[in-house]
A and B are shown apart, each in its own frame.
Chain A
Amino acid sequence: MQRGATFDSSFWVHAVYLDLVEFLLSDFELICTKAVEKELGRDNPTSLRLKALLAERNIKQAAPRSEKIKLYGDGERAAINLALERKLLLLIDDWRPYEAAQAAGVEVVNSLAYLVGLYEQRRLTLERVLNALVRITRRGTLRPEWIQSAVRIVSEIRRKGGN
């Protein structure tokens, strides 16, 4: 059985940008909150991709029943609360709510950690991981510390396993 996971808007934007959606669908039962769907807007490629997957029921929809965490915007708050309530993995790329969720006891993963995990499992080649890291570095929408840390881990995996 697949593990349940929910995500925030920033993670979804990066997942589409880095072409990780198919991997996510095969690894998790993805659940999207209405608030995240709304935040992603209507007519951009990332929201259209999400809408198509929601329509095909490849991603399910849910809303949290309570609001244990009251900080941050609607999408992040809904995703954190849903993850808390259902013990879901939270896929999140915005560092402030990422840290708040972690402090609240939610298991969190950002897009780079997921990318590195795919490399470790040999589902992505080194070339592809480095390409993704360069693209995200150029884009500048993720914390540089996270990127540096991903580079270190990739190098370590390669040293140990020869991937």
Chain B
Amino acid sequence: MDTVCGEDRIGDPTERGKLMKKEKHEKTTVTVRLTDEEDQVLRRLCMLKKTTKTGYLARLAKDQAKRELLNYAAGEYLEGKASLSELAKKTGLDVPTIMDEVARIKGGEKRAVEAFLSAVETLSKLNKDPEFYDLAVKAVRE
């Protein structure tokens, strides 16, 4: 049976705890209906990978869902729609993982470092303090 995950239920620590316990000790049955063509493709891949269709689909679903949760969390945070703490609660991910994803997306953005250096340069000129700018350039290069 397909259900829509209620955010409030998942967000509730007691429910989350129950879900985690369930994850560890029990299995939930999800029925997936495939066309002949879909089944054939899946069967071939599973034969080559020496795995069962169930095992393959379960792993695939889990990995994909985790990726999408992470994308969702980073996207919402970057758009300023939610705080890290809220997103940790909604997605079940920990805050460092969400922050690492934000850093992966934003990290290495040349514009941010350029804006930083530009601010330092302006202040350096204003205060007639070239060393301030030189040290910032050095820090950027390191």
Are A140 and B106 in contact, CB atoms less than 8 angstroms apart?
Answer: yes
Q: Closest CB of chain A to B12's CB: distance in Å?
A: 10
Residues of B within 8 A of A72 (CB): 83, 85-86
Chain A 63-106: CB-based contact to B (< 8 A → 1; otherwise 0): 00000000011111100000000000000001011000000000
Are B86 and A9 in contact, CB atoms less than 8 angstroms apart?
Answer: no
Are A94 and B96 in contact, CB atoms less than 8 angstroms apart?
Answer: no
* Number of residues on chain B facing chain A (CB within 8 A): 39
Chain B 105-130: CB-based contact to A (< 8 A → 1; otherwise 0): 11111001101100110011001010
Residues of B within 8 A of A45 (CB): 96
Q: Closest CB of chain A to B98's CB: distance in Å?
A: 9
Interface contacts (Cβ under 8 Å), in number, total 129
* Number of residues on chain A facing chain B (CB within 8 A): 40
Residues of B within 8 A of A77 (CB): 85
Q: Closest CB of chain A to B26's CB: distance in Å?
A: 22
Bound CA–CA A49/B70 (angstroms): 23
In the A-B complex, the 10 residue pairs with the smallest Cβ-Cβ separation, listed nearest first, are A140-B106, A73-B85, A41-B94, A9-B95, A76-B85, A155-B123, A73-B86, A130-B139, A75-B85, A134-B139
A residues sitting closer than 8 Å to B (CB atoms) are 8-10, 13, 39-42, 44-47, 72-77, 94, 96-97, 126-127, 130-131, 133-134, 137-141, 144, 147-148, 151-152, 155, 158-159
27 inter-chain pairs at a CB distance below 8 angstroms, sorted by A residue, are A9-B84, A10-B84, A10-B99, A39-B88, A39-B95, A41-B94, A44-B96, A46-B96, A72-B86, A73-B83, A75-B95, A76-B84, A96-B80, A97-B85, A127-B139, A133-B116, A133-B139, A134-B113, A134-B139, A134-B142, A139-B106, A139-B107, A148-B115, A151-B116, A155-B120, A158-B129, A159-B127
